[in-house]
């Protein structure tokens, strides 16, 4: 019997063993193919990065080599600088450097990209390159040359010593080995050099991209948890017996805040407040919203009344979107007939009753000013209208105070209209008539624009 079982099991076992060996071989081959493809992609991205940084250095040199009045050449060279820095940023993103400190170099390239783009697209006849910007480019030319040299040294070592980027991934995953990797050391050297460069004055148009809204300009004394507890009960319109839980967030940081949760008999309301002045940043009512029974217009009216009760006066709705049984409204401050777009509050309302279920006021809190100095329009509405595309079917117009691409606040004529089957908001400078901003009004999937 054992002989008969052996005669059956032995060939079967041998067959399974051979099958396992074949499967293992195929898996190993596929794994090697994937690793080889990844290695080739890393090598290509790295060598392209070195090439584009070298080209960037040369293009900055071209910009400096021509006469200061050569607007056409400046625009061409700065456009090429923007393209090359964008290429370099893309190649850095393709390398396995997520665990490696290389942020200073990435930020440096990002600022060059934004500076060159914003300079290249502006009208040099009215805003030529300033002496400060020329000094910046001199510094960038010198710095990019040093970075290019460091990258080329790493590139030479990679080629000479047949170094592999897959080893970089392994080294970054292992802190013990990371110390000895040539490629990692080279990139650390580059980032350390960049971090030592003095900060340049990039101007407001570039600085506005990186400057986060600061709460330092908020007025009012610091508030306590007890102050927030009282404010939370008031904002939630809570009756007796409501429970309040207050949590402090980010203590001893610039972005310190309080979160207050008010639990009543029927619903729970969560709110965030600033620690300086105790200003309400957000409000969220967790009630379940039923099927729609009120119109968007009625809900917008209730949202405006809600803001007025909570201390946000002179707010007007500028846009509305419907998502199933919810209405989302954007309100901005109105001052002397001018809409102040930086002071924005978004409100969410349930269309079952029209009552507010949430709102976000961080833009308003960070940008609100009691009395802004708004100049008179330098041109009439009729003169501004002549600057529009003749094919635009105008639906409305109004004065609007906005922040343009250069980070400057300007007075504009806002025109809403339709052209080529789409709806747009066009903001024309109220003094010069130039287009400060153009927005296509899109309706989200499943939403209904009101």
Helix axes of 103-120 and 182-195: crossing angle, nearest 10 degrees: 50
User: Are the C-beta atoms of residues 359 and 349 closer than 8 Å to each other?
Assistant: no
The domain ranges of the chain are 15-210, 225-367, 381-449
pLDDT at 101: 67
pLDDT at 446: 35
Digit-coded pLDDT (tens) for 209-245? 555 544 445 666 888 999 998 888 888 877 667 888 9
Q: Domain 381-449, what architecture? A: Roll (3.10)
pLDDT at 175: 56
pLDDT at 323: 85
Digit-coded pLDDT (tens) for 337-357? 999 999 999 999 999 999 999
User: Are the C-beta atoms of residues 432 and 127 closer than 8 Å to each other?
Assistant: no
pLDDT at 108: 85
pLDDT at 120: 82
Q: Quickly count: other Cβ atoms within 10 Å of residue 312's Cβ.
A: 20
> What are the φ/ψ torsions at residue 93 (nearest 5 degrees)?
-65, -20
Integer Cα distance of 429 and 53 in angstroms: 38
Q: Is 128 exposed, middle or buried, given 0-12, 13-18 or 19+ CB atoms closer than 10 A? A: middle
pTM value > 0.75? no
Cα 22 → chain centroid: 50
Q: Which parts of the chain have pLDDT scores under 50?
A: 176-179, 213-216, 444-450
Integer Cα distance of 449 and 102 in angstroms: 44
Helix boundaries (H) for 196-337: 204-210, 225-235, 296-309
pLDDT at 416: 93
User: Are the C-beta atoms of residues 371 and 356 closer than 8 Å to each other?
Assistant: no
Q: Domain 225-367, what architecture? A: 2-Layer Sandwich (3.30)
Digit-coded pLDDT (tens) for 378-389? 999 999 999 999
Q: Count Cα neighbours of 381 within 13 Å in the Cβ-side half-sphere.
A: 8
């Amino acid at each position: 019997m054992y002989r008969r079982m052996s005669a059956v099991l032995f060939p079967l076992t041998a067959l399974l063993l051979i099958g396992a060996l074949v499967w293992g071989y195929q898996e190993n081959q596929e794994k090697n193919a994937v690793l080889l493809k990844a290695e080739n992609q890393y090598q290509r991205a790295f060598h392209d990065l070195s090439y584009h940084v070298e080209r960037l250095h040369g293009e900055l040199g071209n910009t400096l080599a021509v006469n200061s009045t050569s607007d056409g050449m400046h625009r061409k060279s700065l456009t090429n600088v923007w393209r090359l820095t964008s290429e370099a940023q893309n190649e850095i993103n393709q390398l396995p450097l997520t665990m490696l400190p290389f942020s200073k170099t990435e930020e440096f390239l990002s600022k060059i990209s934004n500076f060159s783009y914003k300079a290249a697209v502006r009208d040099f006849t009215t805003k030529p390159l300033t002496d400060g910007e020329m000094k910046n480019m001199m510094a960038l030319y010198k710095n990019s040359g040093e970075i290019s040299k460091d990258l080329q040294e790493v590139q030479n070592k990679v080629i000479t010593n047949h170094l592999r980027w897959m080893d970089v991934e392994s080294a970054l995953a292992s802190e013990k080995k990371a110390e000895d990797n040539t490629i990692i050391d080279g990139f650390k050297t580059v980032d350390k050099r960049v971090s030592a460069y003095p900060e340049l004055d990039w101007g407001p148009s570039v600085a506005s991209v990186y400057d986060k809204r600061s709460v330092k300009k908020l007025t009012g004394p610091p508030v306590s948890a007890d102050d927030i507890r009282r404010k939370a009960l008031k904002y939630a319109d809570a009756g007796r017996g409501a429970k309040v839980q207050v949590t402090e967030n980010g203590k001893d940081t610039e972005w310190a805040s309080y979160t207050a949760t008010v639990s009543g008999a029927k619903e729970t309301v969560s709110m965030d407040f600033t620690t300086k002045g105790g200003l309400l940043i957000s409000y969220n009512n967790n009630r379940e919203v039923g099927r729609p029974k009120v119109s968007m217009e009625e809900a917008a009216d209730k949202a405006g009344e809600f803001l007025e009760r909570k201390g946000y006066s002179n707010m007007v709705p500028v846009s509305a979107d419907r998502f199933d049984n919810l209405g989302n409204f954007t309100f901005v401050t109105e001052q002397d007939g001018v809409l102040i777009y930086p002071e924005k509050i978004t409100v969410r309302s349930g269309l079952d009753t029209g009552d507010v279920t949430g709102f976000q006021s961080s833009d308003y809190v960070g940008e609100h000013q009691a009395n802004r100095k708004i100049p008179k329009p330098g041109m009439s509405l009729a003169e501004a209208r002549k600057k529009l595309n003749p094919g635009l079917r105008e639906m409305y117009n109004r004065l609007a105070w906005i922040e343009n691409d250069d980070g400057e606040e300007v007075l504009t004529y806002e025109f809403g209209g339709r052209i080529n089957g789409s709806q747009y908001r066009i903001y024309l400078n109220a003094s010069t008539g130039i287009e400060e901003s153009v927005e296509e009004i899109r309706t989200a999937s499943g939403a209904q624009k009101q």
